[in-house]
Structures are given as C-alpha cells and as structure tokens.
Homo-oligomer: A and B are copies of this chain.
Amino acid sequence: MQKINQVLDAITRLEIQGATNVAISAVTVFAEFAHHLCSKHRPEFLAQLAEVRQRILNTRPTEPAMQNGINYLFALTHNKEVSPPELCELMDGRAQHYIELLQTSRAKIGAIGAKRILEDTKVMTHCHSSAVDAILIHAKRQRRTFQVIVTETRPLYQGRRTAKILLEHDIPVTLIVDSAMRWALRHFQPDIVLVGADAITSTGAIVNKIGTKLLALAAKELDIPFYSASSLLKFDPLTTVGALSEIEERAPTEIWSDTPPDLTIRNPAFEVVSREYLDGIVTEMGIWPPAMIPFIFATKFPEMHGESSI
C-alpha cells in the first residue's frame, strides 16, 4: 500500500513523465497491489481493488493510455467465476501484455510511418511527439535523405526539443516561429504534415498541442497531406459514451514570467482537430482513416472499451 502511494505521488507530482512511462508504472503497481489482496474473499478483494483503481485513474484524468491499461486489468473482475488468486495470476499476464503493447507500438508506428518519408521529402511538424520522432528516425536509419520544418512551439519550446533530437540523428531541421506556420507551408511546400496526438476521440478527432488546428486549417487550404501518428491505446473510450475530452490550461508564467499587473494571460495547452482535417492516423496496426479508430479499438480491445463496447 505504501508503494502504491509512492507511485501515485510520483505520477501526480509529474516525477514520472511521458504517457508510456506513466502507464507502465500504473499497471505494474496495480497488478502488484492485487497480489496483496489475493488471499481475501472476493467481495473484499473487489472493493479494495475498485478503490485503488479509482485513485490511480484520478492521478491523470486525461491520459487515455494509462486509463486504458488500468481498465484492461480491472475488466478481468467482470468474470464472476474466477477466484481472487486466479485473478491475480491473470492480471499479471495482462499487465505484461499491456506493457508489451506499449513498448512495441512505437516501433511499429516508426516502421509503418517511415514508408511515407520518401527520398527528398519535406516534413512539417509541430511541438514534440515521440511517435513522430520514431517515424523520422526510422526513415533516417534506412539512409533516406529528407528535411524537417518544426515550429518552436511556444511557450515551452518543445519544437527546440524536437530539433535537437532530430539533429542528433543527422536529420536537417529548419525552425520557425509559430506564426510563420502558413508561410512555411507555402514556402517549403512540405510533402506531409505529421503531428502526434495526446488523445483520440469517438468522432475520430485528435486532441493535440495548441496550434495543431491552426496548422491543419492552413494545410487543408493548401491541400497538403496531414497525418497524426499515435498508438491506438490513446483512444479515449469514455468519449464514445458521451464524455468530452478535457482540455488542460496551464500557468500564465509559462508565457511571460514577469507578467505586468492587470494583464490576463490565457494558456490553453491543447486543441481538438476533427477528422475532416486528417488524411489518416498512423497506428501500430497500420494507417487508417480517423473514423475507423474508435471501431478498431473497440474490436481489438473490448475489455478496455468497457461498458461502451459494441
């Protein structure tokens, strides 16, 4: 129990970072916790497990990859025939499987998406996405020559992080300010725009870093292919049953540290891009039209899709 508390604290205080790491920690600790309860009677076992599940989910209400993992394990309890010791065993298996899913998805996305990065391609991206990194680095390893245009991505300059990582892999990078996005689409005529996704919703929309809709709008105007790269595990099944994705707003000081008094600063972190702006989503199971993602998730991962599963 103490360990649970430590891990949950670490997640909450952002000591554990990155959707994948958070999800791995969460499912690991959840499976371990179950083992401590193995010897209890089923009702007590379930009650305590449900309580911990809720506590874990609350640490990151907007991280589908972690939420899906916990739900995947917890779904085992729906089978009333299975005893607590058996459940613990099964949970270990699922925890293992989910961690594998997470770890292999990035490599698969890299291999699939890299086929779209042809020789002499110009790629435009925004912010930082490890799935996009995976694709570009995979393409580079195949000795293809291409260049990337990246926005600096105010206020936290994640675009600089993207630039540094790609430069380390000898990929030529051009950096621009965010408001030069449309100029860059017009000037460089990139062959593809490739961004990540923080979540995918039931209408096939993605939630991603603020500025993504602006980039999508300009790419659509200029008929430049626009893809998101994301694990299917980032699908948020609660949106299927009506919940709206929450959009985080962050501290004003990220934008201007010595803010003048009386000045209001708004700092929305994400925005929604609906499916009509997206040619396709590059997932670990292939490139699909955004409208298909909710169904593929529901079909492949019925236990994560939960009560809303079709």
- Residues of B contacting A126 with CB < 8 Å? 179
The answer, yes or no, to whether A244 is at the interface (CB within 8 Å) is: yes
- Residues of B contacting A280 with CB < 8 Å? 202-203
Known: A152-B154, A177-B178. 9 other contacts (CB 8 A): A115-B242, A118-B244, A175-B265, A178-B178, A179-B181, A182-B214, A204-B289, A214-B214, A276-B276
In angstroms, Cα B243 to Cα A113, docked, is 9
The answer, yes or no, to whether A101 is at the interface (CB within 8 Å) is: no
For chain A, the bracket of interface size reads 35 or more
18 A-B interface contacts by CB (under 8 A) = A155-B177, A160-B256, A163-B260, A167-B260, A174-B266, A175-B265, A175-B266, A176-B265, A177-B210, A179-B214, A183-B268, A203-B280, A203-B288, A203-B289, A214-B214, A240-B286, A289-B294, A292-B295
CB-nearest residue of chain B to A164? B260
A163 touches B242 (CB 8 A): no
Task: Mark A residues whose CB is within 8 Å of B.
Answer: 111-116, 118, 126, 151-155, 160, 163-164, 167, 172-184, 186-187, 189, 202-205, 209-211, 213-214, 217-218, 221-223, 239-244, 255-256, 260, 262-268, 271, 274-276, 279-280, 282, 285-292, 294-296, 299-300, 308, 310
**Min C-beta distance of A177 to chain B, whole Å:** 4
CB-nearest residue of chain B to A262? B167
A179 touches B178 (CB 8 A): yes
- Residues of B contacting A211 with CB < 8 Å? 177-180
- Residues of B contacting A167 with CB < 8 Å? 260, 262-263
Interface centre among A218, A222, A242, A274 (most CB of B within 10 A): A242
- Residues of B contacting A296 with CB < 8 Å? 295, 310
B264 touches A172 (CB 8 A): yes
A286 touches B202 (CB 8 A): yes
In angstroms, Cα B260 to Cα A167, docked, is 9
In angstroms, Cα B276 to Cα A276, docked, is 7
A262 touches B172 (CB 8 A): yes
Contact of A180 among B210, B256, B288 (CB under 8 A): B210
**Min C-beta distance of A105 to chain B, whole Å:** 13
A286 touches B271 (CB 8 A): no
- Residues of B contacting A262 with CB < 8 Å? 167, 172-173
In angstroms, Cα B108 to Cα A240, docked, is 12
- Residues of B contacting A276 with CB < 8 Å? 276
**Min C-beta distance of A238 to chain B, whole Å:** 9
A154 touches B172 (CB 8 A): no
B210 touches A183 (CB 8 A): yes
**Min C-beta distance of A275 to chain B, whole Å:** 6
CB-nearest residue of chain B to A269? B180
